[in-house]
Amino acid sequence: MKATVFVATAIAGLGATSDALADGDPTRGAQHYRACVACHALEPELHLSGPSLGNVFERKAGTAEGFVRYSDGLKTADFIWNAAALDGWLKDPAAMIPGTYMVFQGIANPQARADLIAFLEIAGKPGGGGKAAADGLIPAAWLRAGAPEPIRDVPPQARVTAIRHCGDSYFIRTDDGQETPYWEKNIRLKIDSVETGPPKGVAVILGAGMAGDRVSVIFSSLTDLISLVQEKC
Ligand code: HEC
In this structure, the answer to whether residues 95 and 175 fall within a common structural domain is no
Q: Is residue 186 part of a domain?
A: yes
With a 6 Å cutoff on the Cβ, whether 80 touches ligand 1 is: no
Domain, as residue range, for 12:
2-144
In this structure, the answer to whether residues 186 and 226 fall within a common structural domain is yes
In this structure, the answer to whether residues 128 and 226 fall within a common structural domain is no
Task: List, in order, residues 6 or more apart from 31 with CB less than 8 Å away.
Answer: none
Choosing from 113, 144, 175, the residue where a domain stops is 144
With a 6 Å cutoff on the Cβ, whether 101 touches ligand 1 is: yes
Q: Which amino acid is at 40?
A: H
Cα-based distances in Å from 65 to 105, 112, 152? 26, 29, 25
With a 6 Å cutoff on the Cβ, whether 64 touches ligand 1 is: yes
- What is the residue-level pLDDT of the chain in tens, covering all 233 positions? 444 444 444 444 444 444 456 689 999 999 999 999 999 999 999 999 999 999 999 999 999 999 999 999 999 999 999 999 999 999 999 999 999 999 999 999 999 999 999 999 999 999 999 999 999 999 999 999 999 888 888 999 999 999 999 999 999 999 999 999 999 999 999 999 998 999 898 899 998 655 667 899 999 999 999 999 999 99
Q: Which amino acid is at 176?
A: D
Choosing from 144, 168, 201, the residue where a domain stops is 144
From first CA to last CA, the distance across the chain in angstroms is 71
The pTM for the full model equals 0.84
Q: Is residue 54 part of a domain?
A: yes
Say how many domains are in the chain: 2
- Look at residues 156, 167, 166 and name the one whose alpha carbon lies nearest to residue 203: 156
Answer whether 185's CB lies under 8 Å from 199's CB: no
Choosing from 144, 178, 200, the residue where a domain stops is 144
Residue bearing the CA closest to ligand 1, atom 38 = 36
In this structure, the answer to whether residues 67 and 120 fall within a common structural domain is yes
Question: What is the C-alpha to C-alpha distance for residues 44 and 36, in angstroms, rounded to an integer?
Answer: 15
